[in-house]
Structure 1
Amino acid sequence: PVGERIIAQARTVLQESHNLISLAEAGKDPLGSVLAVGAIYTVGPYLFPRLVTRLQKLAPQMPLYIDESYTANLRGKLASGQLDAIFVALPFTEPDVVTRGVYEEPFVVLIPEDHPLAGHARIDPAELARHRVLLLGEGHCFRDQVLEACPGLQQAITDSYARGLSVLEGSSLETLKHMVASGLGITILPKSAADTAQYGRHHLLVKPFAEPVPQRTIALAWRASYPRHQAIDMLIDALK
């Protein structure tokens, strides 16, 4: 218990030191210095190109330091003051942290053009357990959200492990897309990651889910004590 209190106090001191630096910068120009922003792996590659382009127009004197990682790592860096704000998928709760949903994103199914599901206008989640579905590895919150939306997949994974079989996984959404393009199986993606132009016009198909469509809410989180409020507002405005 004593050790835990010491660690907690050390984190508080570190956070306050970062707040003092931010306060000094805010006193000058809240949009005139670097903003450290993090995002989970399944958001960053698809969000930052649009965000950076918009911010260059809205706040050209506020460059971004960007960090992509797992939710747990981003949570720690936000708490310690290493990051000023993070983009995460809800649910996300943390003491003394403000969280605001900024957009919702539906899930879609990526399949090869010659797959048995290619003729379906919409995909019923219950059908997926009968096919080889490629997933992100453990630790990715998007994997957990997919399994929650498609409970049959979780049972299929459990059955595979029970039979001593491996489950096909990828390290990133782009890796999953490459494997689908090679004919290894199908996968589920957030809609922002479903661009297939690099694989040719008809090689891959993006299919919507049947109602109710599974989706995720992406939120921006920042410390309640963070003084550069205008910088946070600018991040949110840049997404509109």
Structure 2
Amino acid sequence: MTQLPTLRQLQFIIALAEHGSFSRAAEAVFVTQPTLSAAIKELEAILGTVLVERGARGAVLTPAGDVVLERAQRVMTEAEDLVVAAQAAGEPLAGPFRLGVIPTIAPFLLPQVLPALRSRFPELELFLREDLTDRLFEALRERRIDAALIALPYDAALIETHAVWSDEFLFAAPPDHPLASKAKLSPDDLTDEPLLLLEDGHCLRDHALAACSTGSARSDFAATSLHTLVHMVKSGLGATLLPRMAVDAGLVDRMGLEVRAFDPPVAGREIGVAWRKGSARADEAIQLGDAIREILEAPAA
């Protein structure tokens, strides 16, 4: 029968690749350096090839070591998924859960829902990461996070989503803007209207352009955050579209801006939860999304 590497040996080669030193790798996995070195030599014997070039300045993986490292990371991730799936079957949404959130949602949604989530799932330990959608999807595929709160629609390979909440777009401008006092505001009014939007890379920019069928955004004044964006509008640089979620959370309070809904309302984006296709935590991601919807739908106390 073929002798197989142990998970411990795979953990050691991963640590060695990360730290580039037997001593630092041993410290990271809480063993002595001789123990780690012996385990790597045993792994090389099992596989019949040299995995590590040892030198005075540290340790570097050979080409064979790089191949083994890639597969070792997959095996360790699958092993972690096995543990997570077994634990989730016994008690869903308990223990660590790594949740990504995009910047145009995080500061406005999380303060509202986190206290209620803690009350509903007292054993849940949420670890939050804020980042742009593309980078969160990469983290999902690489199993560095379990789920992400994003804005839909957004298609991506190997990612599945579940809609949670509709977020309407509102028009925001200085009081003296020509559209600020229009009796009935339509998305058609924004045709050829220069809009201040977030910089490329923020999905909110694409959703805003799609919602109003306009391609004339002021890219020379693109903002890095919604807070920067509203200050640009306050300074008289132009008008913008804001998600109602952010407005309701107080983004434009005391800014002196005219904020208006469209007639009919513009459904700008859906807030949704995303996860890696085939993830052992897919059911938990959906359950978390549904819990957030229920919290948002609950009448204010």
Structure-2-length-normalised TM-score:
0.65
Contact 1:12-1:80 within 8 A present in 2 as well: no
CA distance in 2: counterparts of 1:231 and 1:149, whole angstroms: 28
Q: Which residue does 2:49 correspond to in 1?
A: none
AA aligned to 1:204 is L
Q: Secondary structure at the match of 1:194?
A: helix
Of 52-61 and 116-125, the range deviating more from structure 2: 116-125
* Structure 2: gaps (5+ residues): 1-66, 295-301
Superposed CA offset, 1:79-116 (max 9, x none): 11111111122233455543211111111111122322
Summarize the Cα distance change of 1:102–1:109 in structure 2 as closer, same or farther, 3 Å threshold: same
CA distance in 2: counterparts of 1:142 and 1:121, whole angstroms: 27
CA distance in 1: counterparts of 2:187 and 2:70, whole angstroms: 43
Q: How does 1:30-49 map to 2 (within 5 A)?
A: 30-49=92-111
1:239 is displaced (CA, Å) by 2.5
1:225 aligns with 2:282: no
Summarize the Cα distance change of 1:92–1:115 in structure 2 as closer, same or farther, 3 Å threshold: closer
Aligned length: 225
Q: Which residue does 1:3 correspond to in 2?
A: none
1:213 aligns with 2:266: yes
Contact 2:168-2:265 within 8 A present in 1 as well: no
1:138 aligns with 2:204: no
Q: Which residue does 2:180 correspond to in 1?
A: 118
CA distance in 1: counterparts of 2:205 and 2:143, whole angstroms: 28
CA distance in 1: counterparts of 2:71 and 2:171, whole angstroms: 46
Q: Which residue does 2:291 correspond to in 1?
A: 237
CA distance in 2: counterparts of 1:211 and 1:32, whole angstroms: 42
1:198 is displaced (CA, Å) by 5.9
CA distance in 2: counterparts of 1:106 and 1:220, whole angstroms: 18
Q: How does 1:59-78 map to 2 (within 5 A)?
A: 59-78=121-140
Summarize the Cα distance change of 1:96–1:145 in structure 2 as closer, same or farther, 3 Å threshold: closer
What is the aligned-residue identity percentage? 35
What is the RMSD of the two structures over their aligned residues, measured on CA atoms?
2.9
Contact 1:51-1:238 within 8 A present in 2 as well: yes
The 4+ residue runs of structure 1 with deviation greater than 6 A are none
CA distance in 2: counterparts of 1:209 and 1:238, whole angstroms: 26
CA distance in 1: counterparts of 2:191 and 2:292, whole angstroms: 39
Contact 2:164-2:292 within 8 A present in 1 as well: no
Higher relative contact order (CA 8 A, sep 6+): 1
CA distance in 2: counterparts of 1:112 and 1:57, whole angstroms: 41
Q: Which residue does 1:169 correspond to in 2?
A: 222
Of 20-29 and 79-88, the range deviating more from structure 2: 20-29
Contact 1:107-1:191 within 8 A present in 2 as well: yes
Of 10-19 and 188-197, the range deviating more from structure 2: 10-19
